[in-house]
Amino acid sequence: MKSFCAGHPSLVECASRHHHHHHHRHHRTHHADDRRAVFRPTKMFVFGDSYADTGNNPKALANSWKAPYGITFPGRPTGRYSDGRVLTDFLAAHFGLRSPIPYRWREVGSKYVEHGMNFAYGGTGVFNTLFPQPNMTVQIDLFQQLIAESVYTALDLQSSLALVTNSGNDYSAYLAKNGSYEDLPQFIIQVVNQLVLDIKRIHSLGVKLIAIAGLQPLGCLPRTTVSNSFRTCNATANSLVTFHNQLLQQAVAKLNNQTRSSPAFVVVNLYTSFMSVLNGKGSTKFREPLTPCCTGINSSYSCGSVDETGQKQYELCKDPKGMFFWDMVHPTQEGWRAVFAALGHNLKQL
């Protein structure tokens, strides 16, 4: 395994060499589409990180609870890592569902528990990261605990949808702990393997349909492109992302072949939809697509930072609706809306 994909340029070819062709796919998918037409989820459960978190992180820890986060919707910070709605909200709305209540607010908003629950914590990964919040295994433990307490019944789970995001925090943590780019492909294999164990576990708990977010183009995030004044994406980083996504697609195809209610697992292709929007292909055109709306006044600060006297240490663009990126990592509400629109056919698989 050691030599598996060591050189970046061959990562993509390498992933495809490890692809095993699955027969009968077309036949099964055709029938699955017939069944899928009648599947209308009544609940949504969410696992993952800041691309899905709608308010789980403690206020003391997260910038997402500070102004100007939430400035577009609902007009104040709600713990979402954006100026407004995030992926979770758009997916819930797509199914006519209420966005599920964050786990930490389940006591306060107990009447909303029937719509499902969001266990995602910003900054987390499938493994432990630099952020001391529940990783995905622990998030699923919390879900399992609620099932054990009969908060959700087997019948509830049969009509439910799960969203799972894994947006690169495992990789940031790996590199921050002095992991090398050379060894990253080996670590990507471990991350995807763990992610696959996690989605199998969610399915085994009774959730009918699982949407797994593919990895977005990390090489296009402002924190990466800041080194070239937000002009161009980093191709090396994006080739590693492509490797992650190909391994994930292959693993999911295999799972669907082994699942009677196939396809129970659908990859939401964020890479293609992000790139399509960033390349100006969508109906929403962003003038400077790689430039973030909200940044720290220098590298010591970030969006939402204030100094000890309470003075703002960040700069905010005039119109968040005209920007794709909100901060150094996360899209604006308008950015997410455009990404969601660009998913098009991919959403029909859900």
Please report where in the chains the tokens 């569902």 appear, as a residue. Answer: 97
SS3 for 245-257, per residue?
HHHHHHHHHHHHH
Report whether 212 contacts 157 (CB < 8 A). no
The angle subtended at Cα 231 by Cα 122 and Cα 321, nearest 5°, is 55
Q: By the 8 A CB rule, do 122 and 53 touch?
A: yes
64 is catalytic: no
**CB–CB of 120/53 below 8 Å?**
yes
Terminal-to-terminal C-alpha distance of the chain:
34
Structure tokens at 69: 């986060």
Query: What does R_g of the chain's alpha carbons equal in angstroms?
Result: 20
Q: Which of 50, 82, 172, 302 is catalytic?
A: 50
Which positions ≥6 away from 275 have C-beta within 8 Å? Answer: 217, 220
Q: Which residue has the tokens 């699982």?
A: 210
Dihedral, 270, 276, 277, 281 alpha carbons, nearest 10: -150
Catalytic residue among 8, 203, 244, 330: 330
Question: What is d(CA 312, CA 111) in angstroms, rounded to the nearest whole number?
Answer: 37
Report the 10 Å Cβ neighbour count for 310. 6
Q: Identify whether 327 is a catalytic site residue.
A: yes
CA dist., res. 281 & res. 254, Å (int): 32
Quote the crossing angle between the two packed helices 270-278 and 333-343, to the nearest 10°: 110
Contact predicate 250/308, CB 8 Å: no
Q: Write b or e for each residue in 161-179: b if 16 or more Cβ atoms lie within 10 A of its Cβ, otherwise e.
A: bbbbbbbbbbbbbbeeeee
Q: Which residues are catalytic?
A: 50, 327, 330
